[in-house]
Structure 1
């Protein structure tokens, strides 16, 4: 199985996207995109509270932000 040749995506990508769309539409159980984003932001907030100095914060930003 190749996936969709015109889109250039594989079968697993299509399955993952379809499954997430069904979850987001509340058709099947699971963690919605919005719920996952909230969890991610809460985790980042907890991490950020641990940075006491400006240099700690700058180090964190350089690790997690793609400046390219």
Structure 2
């Protein structure tokens, strides 16, 4: 999965900090002006995301029936 680059403010920033603290995503700050922040899934985030994606897909298919 490609890292996401986007300025985050307010609630998004709080959610991102929580996901970083939980070890699901990583945050990398480049020392540029202005600083460039890159987020991406950690190995744990990918491991957790795969079965959740499968579950969401099953639920979506079931609701479509």
Q: Please indicate the TM-score interval, normalised by the length of the shorter structure.
A: 0.3 to 0.5
Which structure has the highest strand share of the two? Answer: 2
Q: Could you say which structure has the larger radius of gyration? A: 1
Per chain length, whose mean CA-contact separation is higher, i.e. which structure has more relative contact order (CA < 8 Å, sep 6+)?
Answer: 2
Which structure has the highest helix share of the two? Answer: 1
- Report the TM-score when normalising by structure 2: 0.39
